[in-house]
Amino acid sequence: MDLEFSPEDLAFRDEVRTFIAEHYPKDLRGKQDEGDELGKEDFLSWHKVLHKQGWVAPSWPVEYGGTGWSPTQKFIFSEETARADCIRLLPFGLSMVGPVIYTFGTPEQKAHFLPRILSGEDWWCQGYSEPGSGSDLASLRTKAERDGDDYIVNGQKTWTTMAQHADWGFFLVRTNPDVKQQEGISFLLIDMKTPGIEVRPIITLGGEHEVNEVFLDNVRVPQSQRIYEEDKGWTCAKFLLAHERVGIAGVASSKRGIEKIKEIATTEMDGEKSLLANPFFRRKVSELEMDLTALEYTELRSLAANKAPGAESSLLKIKGSEIQQRLTELALEAAGHYGAPYFRGFGEGDNEHPIGPDWAHRTAPHYFNMRKTTIYGGSNEIQRGIIAKMVLGL
């Protein structure tokens, strides 16, 4: 395996770099620099710029709107966007339901939904987890019963990220309670404006409204919105989760995160010297950097294999999420007491100017927020179980 970039790859890197410098939305950059919370329009603004350029879905097959890039080009693209602090596009449409639709959908479903995912016209959310069915997802109880050409859906989902903005959701529902759990589940696409859907916020430890509960009360869903065969939704669910876990590794953004920590620790003082000169702090940064380099090479090997992600993606998820958490721990350590007054973030109407350096006031909410990474996408304990069984054959 050759890990050097070719002259063509380097030219591609320059092209991406120039594009970002010229087209990344200035408003968005300003909000990020200020540490403001980002809304739907912010996420969509970068999405739309990339869509116009034809770069919004590098992993999709070309026939559905992908870029046709080599694995190295995809790697370069994610490196460059992270390096330039571009926001990460939301995965629910592009990385989750999109691949499910182009793999398992009917020609009509592909023709309708895929272009709208690419353009950002539809914002998606993921309705998998339920109270009592997270790790043990196959035990889910939200049921869909046939009524003519429709299903009537009743139940509750939880932890549904960004559902407050969603136009559509992809839901796992029970269509047959009388068979083995995994064999009675179907995969439905549901318009979030359908009568009977209620979205209630869950406010997280960092004070943010990112996740929700979704209640479904006699929600009527046409059968034409089911993906793949009835009762075979588990096949789509597993396929999607493997895709979800690869993105979760977040190697490129963690590399940028380490750079930022180093920048901060070079200017922040620890007594007479910079924080980076403190051997204890420097050692933690170096350990993190080594672990990230190891993860980066593992991801590159997985990309070079150029096959659909499998159980190996569990490994990327575990290491990637642990590194993301350690980064926030280091940032909070660097902020020290300046992080403390802002544990709950800023609420609407707050007009106090934060004390301490600008970068410090988001460190505590970010630290709390990132505790999620070892839970979502299938908890890390569950991923270890998958590796033991599927990769190591234990």
Q: Which residues lie near ligand FAD (CB under 6 A)?
A: 126-129, 134-135, 159-161, 211, 372, 375-376, 378-379, 381-382, 385
- Nearer Cβ to ligand FAD, position 66 or 320? 320
Q: Closest approach of Cβ 104 to ligand FAD, in Å?
A: 18
Nearest-CB residue for ligand FAD: 134
- Nearer Cβ to ligand FAD, position 191 or 259? 191
Q: Which pair of structure tokens corresponds to residue 272?
A: 């007479």
* Catalytic-labelled residue, pool 79, 80, 130, 244: 244
Q: Is the distance from CB of 233 to CB of 227 less than 8 angstroms?
A: yes
What is the three-class DSSP state of 167? coil
Cβ burial of 314 (10 Å; 0-12, 13-18, 19+) is: buried
Type of residue found at 100: V
What is the three-class DSSP state of 218? strand
* Annotation marks residue 121 as catalytic: no
Q: Closest approach of Cβ 315 to ligand FAD, in Å?
A: 16
- Nearer Cβ to ligand FAD, position 32 or 161? 161
Q: Closest approach of Cβ 318 to ligand FAD, in Å?
A: 11
Cβ burial of 4 (10 Å; 0-12, 13-18, 19+) is: exposed
Q: Are strands 209-222 and 197-203 parallel, antiparallel or unpaired?
A: antiparallel
Q: Closest approach of Cβ 120 to ligand FAD, in Å?
A: 18
Among the listed residues 262, 286, 285, 283, the one whose alpha carbon sits nearest the alpha carbon of residue 274: 262
What are 197's strand-pairing partners?
A: 216
Rounded distance between C-alpha atoms, residue 249 and residue 314, angstroms: 9
- Nearer Cβ to ligand FAD, position 202 or 340? 202
Q: Closest approach of Cβ 384 to ligand FAD, in Å?
A: 8
- Nearer Cβ to ligand FAD, position 346 or 376? 376
Buried b (16+ CB within 10 A) or exposed e, 115-148: eebbebebbbbbbbbbeebbeebeebebbbeeee
Catalytic residues: 244
